[in-house]
Structure 1
Amino acid sequence: MNRPWLPYLWKAGVPIAVAVLVYVLPVPDGVEPTGMRMLGIFLGTILALILQPLPTGSVALIGMAVAMLTKTESAAKALAGFANTTVWLIVAAFFIAEGFLLTGLGRRIALLFVTRLGRSTLGLSYGMALTDLILAPATPSNTARCGGVVFPVVASLSQLEDSHPEPEESRKRLGAFLTLTALQVNVVTSAMFLTAMAGNPVAQEAARKLGVEISWGRWALAAIVPGIVSLVAVPWVMSKIYPPTIKKTPDAPQQARDQLREAGPMSRGEWIMAGTFVLLLILWCLGSVVKIDATTAAFVGIAILLITGVLSWKNLADNASAWSTLVFFGVLVGMASELNDLGVIDWIGNSVAGSVDALPWLVAFAILTLVYFYSHYLFASNTAHIVAMYAVFVGAAIATGAPPLFSALVFGFIGNLFGGLAHYSSGPAGVVYGSGYVKTAELFRIGFAISIVNILIWTLIGGGWMKLIGIW
């Protein structure tokens, strides 16, 4: 007997059951009365986003409606995530990428990449990694770097190989591999430099208040070896566990050169897009000097593209990926912020820290770092996680006898490396997921697998390197 409703019932039933179970748990000391209710709704929403009984945007809005209906979250707080600047930076990144595609500049850049690295799809992924690495020290917004610089080129390269988000066969040709690799590379480059992610200076300041000074040079020196090893390893590992269906493209470089000749000189739209892009890079690099944040800079760029006619309002309105990402990311950011405000995050951090007091520092340190890393499933922002838990965990590690500078640096690195765990874990993750090339379950599965690779590299090679240079 055919029961088409059974899969839907299972996919909807599991999140509801988990949400209800956590919802009715007793409220721990230090947590506000509605804290466990909020945690239950948040976990239920996350599970529903993974199992997909309904599309992503629908699940997010239902979760928000339940939070408001049960008085767990006020309407103002539920909608507060939509005022988050990182959420709007992600949306802006989609519009900027649209400009690259519409003008043809993205295709031109993609063809240039193909002429030099296009004999294999793995070569293309290393080209993207090199681009990200070069920009990382001077681009404090990892979302701007991934969404505004790397993603438009990745999208163009994918389309060049006839790889689109739909159908399934098309996305797996190249686009899914390149976009997901770009995310996992971005978390590594963000960890390598103090100025490569907005949350890193927050960690630096929190460490200073604990009596630990971290300079730009010391952070970079400690991260350079494990970072380079990860940048070499991640695209290769991705090619094995999440391979594109096309791997070798021996004729691609010559074909790209031929297509560049046919395309002729750059058009007016391409020149405007290129000039706007250069302006954005300058503003993103010098944001702290000129007092313009990354989101403001991105919308200045969009305004220029609208004024010059490179983009139209219809182009923006028709960008379903951007608006869908705004909905699910805005809802989750609001929920995660409420969990912090209600004391749930502090309760989790303090509970873990208190449970390792009597252990040898190496054992305690390992437990603390793993909990800190994977507790990021409860957050929709790197910076929010750092603000909420960095000082608690570094302080607990130091209290167990772990070297202070070593502890501060390791938790600083983790504050970036967990950004690829899920589709809501960071701004770049939102960009990649919103592209449509990667499915939710794939992002969770691959994100976890690459997290193991990075943990091993940064623990074994990174720990050994930091021992060699005298950090611990």
Structure 2
Amino acid sequence: MTESRADTGNSTTAQPHPHFHFSPLWYKAAIPVVVGLVVYFLPNPDGVDPNGMHMLGIFVATILGLILQPLPTGSVAMVGLALAMITKTMTMDEALAGFSNKTIWLIVASFFIAEGFIVTGLGKRIALVFVRAIGRSSLGLSYGMAVTDLILAPATPSNTARAGGVVYPIIRSLAELEDSRPDTEESRKKLGAYLLLTALQVNVITSAMFITAMAGNPLAQKAAGEAGIEITWAKWALAAIVPGLVSLVVVPWVMQRVYPPTVRKTPEAPDLARAQLREAGRMSVHEWIMAGTFVVLLVLWCLSDELNVDATATAFLGIGILLVTGVLTWNNLVSDKGAWQTLIFFGVLVAMADQLKTLGVIDWIGDKVASSVDSLPWLLAFAALTLVYFYVHYLFASNTAQIVAMYAVFLGAATTAGAPALFSALVLGFIGNLFGGLAHYSSGPAGVMYGSGYIKTSEWFRVGFIMSVVIILIWTIVGGAWMKLIGIW
């Protein structure tokens, strides 16, 4: 953009051959429009409502818009919604139904709860405690950040906020303490690049461990429910806990060998953490309230079936406590742009996905995908489907966009191929998080880490692919055996 302004800026010289300047945004907008129109005017397959391909065209165009970003995320969603209504592909009630969805409000409520960790400083305090305890080496620092992420994950559906608001600032301080900056090759490789890229791989694991650890997980839960497969908060956490913990032990260690820092010992880090904790002083009343509220939420989410308490109601109880006690103010909620953007973004996509299901499009696509593997034993068919679902994420810049677009289709194909329903729903749910470390654009946390300047693009693709293989092996072997042991398949 700077070069464009320089070329066409303040010069008063007449231009003899004026021409229209095509901004990259034109191409980013043109691709969704063209592809959407092609799909919109395709003939309807048998069994699909006459409006089915119209809805699919608008949906595909919206998803491509979210990937290419000609406009901000919320703007793309609103344009898609407007097109669906003005073409009468969706009625007004159908188009706005997503905004009354309790799953979306669980996500929004959890964003507000996560804000409490940041504004009280409790999230930073937790990280510093672990740095003080086990931060005398680069590996110890990475484990400290991993434990911090794990503790915050159950109540932080914005994995970007968790990575960017708590973990990233601590890592930058620790890196600069060792004179590791993004300026030179030697400096960035001392410590900062390793810690940041490891923190991303850790983040995708903690996001997979709890329904409330990533904003797209409740949408996968909802899609599974619509297919007749019930996934509770406790059931998801139980299935993910063993492969998740094994991954958190293995991943930092493997990263030290795949992408090693040149600084292995960090004796000053515990002293830095100790000094910052001293400066912060004792835990404030608000920090204690935040910690207590967090514990109450975890207990209620884990015992939701036994107590018959809805997960969304539990989240709003947490917000109520934080507002009444002054930990959060109404201004905190109003100014949380991420939460409100999530409401718009998810509200639109969920309404569109529901409409595709109603019009028979999802079932039609699912049958096509299932027929491609129907000659295989279910284990081989499921392996093929999950690998495709994992690596097709190279085409997506958002976990949630892929979950909305593809989760229900692949779940239907897996169960049609004979794979156990609950097992399939959970594994695809986990994958919806685990592919977030493939590339520098694969997830919000990846964008945060990439924006630091410490990591080269080529390194992202190389390390991201290697670590994807490691993570797939752990979740397949350890996770598969664990889920067999507890009777999920």
TM over 0.5: yes
Instruction: Please state if 1:393 is matched with 2:414.
Output: yes
Determine which of 306, 315, 321 is the counterpart of 1:298. 315
Determine which of 205, 216, 219 is the counterpart of 1:185. 205
Aligned 8 A contact 1:114 1:256 in 2: yes
Distance of aligned partners of 1:298 and 1:186 in 2 relative to their CA distance in 1, 3 Å threshold: same
Determine which of 320, 326, 337 is the counterpart of 2:337. 320
Aligned 8 A contact 1:333 1:381 in 2: no
Aligned counterparts of 2:104 and 2:246: Cα–Cα separation in 1: 31
The offset of 1:230, in angstroms, is: 3.9
- Counterparts of 1:68-217 in structure 2 under 5 Å? 68-119=85-136, 123-127=140-144, 129-130=146-147, 144-147=154-157, 155-161=165-171, 177=197, 180-190=200-210
Aligned 8 A contact 2:205 2:248 in 1: yes
Structure 2: which 5+ residue stretches go unaligned?
1-6, 9-19, 174-181, 184-191, 212-216, 452-456
Distance of aligned partners of 1:238 and 1:373 in 2 relative to their CA distance in 1, 3 Å threshold: same
Partner residue, 2:287 = 270
Q: Which has the larger radius of gyration?
A: 2
The alignment-based identity, stated in percent, is 52
Aligned counterparts of 1:469 and 1:267: Cα–Cα separation in 2: 41
Aligned 8 A contact 1:177 1:239 in 2: no
Aligned 8 A contact 1:12 1:53 in 2: yes
Instruction: Please state if 1:437 is matched with 2:448.
Output: yes
Aligned 8 A contact 2:145 2:167 in 1: no
Aligned 8 A contact 2:138 2:195 in 1: no
- Computed over aligned residues only, the root mean square deviation of the Cα atoms, in angstroms, reads 4.9
The secondary structure found in structure 2 opposite 1:311 is coil
Q: Which amino acid aligns with 1:159?
A: P
Aligned 8 A contact 2:36 2:57 in 1: yes
The offset of 1:254, in angstroms, is: 0.9
Determine which of 69, 94, 115 is the counterpart of 1:52. 69
Aligned counterparts of 1:62 and 1:201: Cα–Cα separation in 2: 24
How many residues are treated as equivalent by the alignment?
A: 432
The offset of 1:433, in angstroms, is: 3.6
- Residues 276-295 of structure 1 show CA distances to partners (whole Å, capped at 9, x for unaligned) of 22222222222222222222
The offset of 1:111, in angstroms, is: 1.5
Aligned 8 A contact 1:379 1:385 in 2: no
Aligned 8 A contact 1:421 1:448 in 2: no
Determine which of 303, 312, 337 is the counterpart of 2:354. 337
Aligned counterparts of 2:261 and 2:313: Cα–Cα separation in 1: 36
- Residues 254-308 of structure 1 show CA distances to partners (whole Å, capped at 9, x for unaligned) of 1111222232222222222222222222222222222222221111111111112
Distance of aligned partners of 1:283 and 1:259 in 2 relative to their CA distance in 1, 3 Å threshold: same
Aligned counterparts of 1:323 and 1:176: Cα–Cα separation in 2: 28
Aligned 8 A contact 2:171 2:196 in 1: no
The secondary structure found in structure 2 opposite 1:147 is coil
The offset of 1:9, in angstroms, is: 0.9
Partner residue, 1:426 = none
Distance of aligned partners of 1:317 and 1:146 in 2 relative to their CA distance in 1, 3 Å threshold: closer
The 10-residue stretch of structure 1 (444-453 or 250-259) with the greater mean CA deviation from structure 2:
444-453
Aligned 8 A contact 1:18 1:44 in 2: yes
Aligned 8 A contact 2:229 2:425 in 1: no
The 10-residue stretch of structure 1 (120-129 or 306-315) with the greater mean CA deviation from structure 2:
120-129
The offset of 1:185, in angstroms, is: 0.5
Aligned counterparts of 2:431 and 2:338: Cα–Cα separation in 1: 25
Aligned counterparts of 2:159 and 2:38: Cα–Cα separation in 1: 43
The offset of 1:107, in angstroms, is: 2.5
Aligned counterparts of 2:88 and 2:22: Cα–Cα separation in 1: 31
Determine which of 15, 23, 31 is the counterpart of 1:14. 31
The offset of 1:422, in angstroms, is: 6.8
Partner residue, 1:41 = 58
Determine which of 41, 45, 53 is the counterpart of 1:28. 45
Aligned 8 A contact 2:58 2:80 in 1: yes
Structure 1: which 5+ residue stretches go unaligned?
136-142, 164-168, 192-196, 210-215, 399-403, 424-428
Determine which of 400, 411, 430 is the counterpart of 1:416. 430
Q: Which amino acid aligns with 1:77?
A: E
Partner residue, 1:139 = none
The offset of 1:24, in angstroms, is: 1.1
Q: TM-score, normalised by structure 2?
A: 0.70
Aligned counterparts of 2:77 and 2:100: Cα–Cα separation in 1: 16
The 10-residue stretch of structure 1 (48-57 or 445-454) with the greater mean CA deviation from structure 2:
445-454
Q: Which amino acid aligns with 2:85?
A: M
The offset of 1:455, in angstroms, is: 3.8
Aligned counterparts of 2:351 and 2:259: Cα–Cα separation in 1: 32
Aligned 8 A contact 1:101 1:156 in 2: yes
Q: Which amino acid aligns with 1:56?
A: T
Aligned counterparts of 2:127 and 2:283: Cα–Cα separation in 1: 14
The offset of 1:247, in angstroms, is: 9.3
- Counterparts of 1:226-237 in structure 2 under 5 Å? 230-234=247-251
The offset of 1:412, in angstroms, is: 3.8
Partner residue, 2:272 = 255
The 10-residue stretch of structure 1 (33-42 or 105-114) with the greater mean CA deviation from structure 2:
105-114
Q: Which amino acid aligns with 1:81?
A: G
Aligned counterparts of 2:91 and 2:120: Cα–Cα separation in 1: 43
- Residues 177-206 of structure 1 show CA distances to partners (whole Å, capped at 9, x for unaligned) of 577445411354359xxxxx8777997998
Aligned counterparts of 2:246 and 2:341: Cα–Cα separation in 1: 35
Distance of aligned partners of 1:466 and 1:301 in 2 relative to their CA distance in 1, 3 Å threshold: closer
The offset of 1:53, in angstroms, is: 1.0
Aligned 8 A contact 2:127 2:144 in 1: no
Distance of aligned partners of 1:113 and 1:206 in 2 relative to their CA distance in 1, 3 Å threshold: same
